[in-house]
Amino acid sequence: MKDRIKDILLPKCGKENYEKLMDLNNTKLNEFVAKYVELCDPASVFVRTDSEKDAEYIRSKAVASGEEQLLAINGHTAHFDGYFDQARDKAHTKYLLRPDQGLGSDISSVDRDEGLEEAHAILKGIMAGKEMYVAFFCLGPTNSEFSISAVQITDSSYVAHSEDILYRSGYEEFKRSGVSGKFFRFVHSAGVLENGVSCNVEKRRVYIDLEEEIVFSTNTQYAGNTVGLKKLSMRLAIKRASEEGWLTEHMFVMGVHGPDNKRLTYFTGSFPSACGKTATSMLEGEKIIGDDIAYLRRKDGKVRAVNVERGIFGIIRDVSDANDPAIYGALTSPGEVIFSNILVTEDKKPHWLGDGVEEPTEGINYSGKWFAGKKDQAGNEVLLAHKNARYTIRIKSLGNCDENLDNPDGVEVKGIIYGGRDSDTNVPVEQSFDWAHGILTQAATIESETTAATLGKEGVRVFNLMANLDFLSIPIGRYIQNNLDIVEGMEIPPSIFHVNYFLRGKDGKYLNGIKDKHVWVKWMERRVHGEVEAITSPTGYFPKYEDLVPIFKEVLGKDYARDEYEEQFTLRIPERIAKKERIKEIYHTKVFDTPHILLKTLDDQILRLEECRKKYGDYVSPFVLEKDE
Ligand code: SPV
Ligand code: MN
């Protein structure tokens, strides 16, 4: 066996790369790499250690291969995904399951044997003439009990480069964890490239093998489908967490300063794509640890969290100097940034929708040569950049990176924020009565209007519990139960909040400014420390007007009017009840293992809402609720 592995690997790797692999002394790893070298048949194999030299090699290959192009500012590059490869492909992302395994109707799967055969058939010879990269990463801080080692095989230098920005290097970690360490494995091929982009879209697949902890991804470049460590690893980690008693969540991790900047309180937050999650995590003046994926563990009676990543793959649309100075500054300064699916003008500058500068009339974008008014084959206007265009950057490049980013013990979570995109139902911010109430009535009922971050129609309201439905690899009911259990017996569990940045008034206009989210997190920070009181509504605790006024003044320099508050925080009973009924229907009909307590808690909440409606009508002012207490 050993000789056979050597015979396969040595000619493709060459001596130096072969030795890098052998130094890890890990048979399971070597067999895995050899299997896919033999199947994918690359021209050569590059093995990436944690050295700067290896990182630089991949950066230079990304440009030489045409997957990235240099931009005017030093360290900046642009990458384009194919015209039909601009978001996560939910339809072709499936779990490989045996006939007796079932995750429920909302989680797609394919027969394991058939799926493996299909993936392997697609991968056969797919890397002919290309270089294969074998790279090692650590999900979470190195040397930490939170963390998981992973190896990525890819033929895309863009994917390997993105991973270098987004994840902590893990070659030494592999050595440290030794041969017995369990690790995630990812096999990706962008397939045949035309003008630097994957062209066999019809053979795009993302297949997840939970048993072996391997994910296959083919004929796609979009990072959400390809960067194994991101959403692909999340699916494996949710399963592993469930077996080991911790949580993998679609959450940012941030520190919020208390009054006079005297303390820093950590929050995590889970929102579906394009609902303001990244923007919240990097609010100016606060501290960011991560914007997308967190591992949470119970330690010494506290919930602690780490960021799985060390970089951000953020939506660039509407990032402007005025609205997001922290990230805008980093995106316009020298340093390593990959811009994807933006517009590149002749002077090699990136442009995106809502960047706050004058719009160019021509350039190159994901549709090729672009000019204002361009239409695609279906007759739809091609905007100057894709709505899901992104930037990839290290968190350390941000001025407000928190010092605990790489703390192996993580940070203590005092509050958890859930959000969604809804125009007519939830108030801008409220706090749940307790942990179970928050998990069951808020986290487990998140809905969001669809956006450009996944393929398909935009603007449809979809159920997305904990903003994690797309990534669940265990039955929904079990996942909810895991969330309930993590704080069992804990004296003071984290507080749970819900936000809605997208509420509209009768005239259809947004009721809040884009920066109001900063006020809400400051209010939460005070609530966690018991410094402000709240109004008890049938659905949770609402902020008091007099507590928000000074925060609006201090944070935004704004005089917050009484009638603005009243409109924003009016309890909309018909919409609230309708939402709960919609969600109950889902749990009744689609989820086979709904915890009983979920339906009971929703029913109790509906009863409270109905009683309130009998007293005060359909729409109840927060001032009326306050007097009622
Ligand atoms: C999201 O859509 O939630 C993202 C980007 O964070 S993706 O990598 O596409 O998942
Ligand atoms: Mn995400």
3-state secondary structure 471-534: HCCCCHHHHHHHHHHCCCCCCCCCEEEEEECCCECCCCCECCCCCHHHHHHHHHHHHHCCCCCE
Pairing mode of beta strands 93-97, 205-209 = parallel
Pick from 273, 277, 390, 392 the residue to mutate for probing ligand 1's pocket: most ligand atoms within 8 Å of its CB: 273
Ligand 1 centroid to residue 500 C-alpha, Å: 19
Structure tokens at 405: 């980013």
Q: Where are the beta strands (DSSP E) in 32-89?
A: 44-48, 69-70, 76-79
Structure tokens at 127: 């890397």
Q: Exposure pattern of 468-495 as b/e (b: 16+ CB <10 Å)?
A: bbbbbbbbbbebbbbbbebbeeeeebbb
Instruction: Tell the residue nearest (CA) to atom 5 of ligand 1.
Output: 224
Pairing mode of beta strands 302-307, 411-420 = antiparallel
- Which residues make Cβ contacts (< 8 Å) with residue 273, sequence separation at least 6? 315, 451, 453, 454
Burial of 395 (0-12, 13-18, 19+ CB in 10 A): buried
Instruction: Tell the residue nearest (CA) to atom 7 of ligand 1.
Output: 224
Q: Which atom of ligand 1 is nearest to the CA of 223?
A: 8
pLDDT for residue 179: 67
Structure tokens at 129: 């003439």
pLDDT for residue 451: 62
Q: Which residues line ligand 1 (CB under 6 A)?
A: 88, 223-224, 230-231, 273, 292, 313, 453
Structure tokens at 139: 């999900």
Spatial distance between the Cα atoms of 150 and 163, rounded to a whole number of angstroms: 11
- Report yes or no: 228 and 207 within 8 Å, Cβ to Cβ: no
Model confidence pTM above 0.85: yes
Ligand 2 centroid to residue 98 C-alpha, Å: 28
Ligand nearest to the CA of 453: 1
Spatial distance between the Cα atoms of 435 and 440, rounded to a whole number of angstroms: 9
pLDDT for residue 124: 98
Q: In DSSP terms, which residues pair with 251 in a beta bridge?
A: 270
Task: Please name the amino acid found at residue 445.
Answer: T
Helix/strand/coil for 247: strand
Of 13, 138, 275, 612, the catalytic one is 275
- Report yes or no: 490 and 301 within 8 Å, Cβ to Cβ: yes
Task: With both helix axes pointing from N to C terminus, report the angle between 157-166 and 52-64 in degrees, rounded to the nearest 10.
Answer: 140
Q: Which atom of ligand 1 is nearest to the CA of 230?
A: 8
Q: Which atom of ligand 1 is nearest to the CA of 250?
A: 3
Instruction: Tell the residue nearest (CA) to atom 9 of ligand 1.
Output: 224
| pLDDT profile of the chain (629 residues), mean per 10 | 90 98 95 98 98 98 96 98 94 94 86 97 98 97 95 98 98 84 94 93 96 97 96 97 98 97 96 91 96 97 98 95 90 97 98 96 97 93 96 96 98 97 94 98 92 63 94 96 96 97 94 97 98 98 98 98 98 97 95 96 98 98 94
pLDDT for residue 177: 80
Ligand 2 centroid to residue 273 C-alpha, Å: 6
Instruction: Tell the residue nearest (CA) to atom 4 of ligand 1.
Output: 273
Q: Where are the beta strands (DSSP E) in 300-398?
A: 302-307, 311-315, 337-340, 343-344, 350-351, 362-365, 368-371, 390-394
Q: Is 275 a catalytic residue?
A: yes
Q: In DSSP terms, which residues pair with 69 in a beta bridge?
A: 78
pLDDT for residue 374: 97
Ligand 1 centroid to residue 340 C-alpha, Å: 13
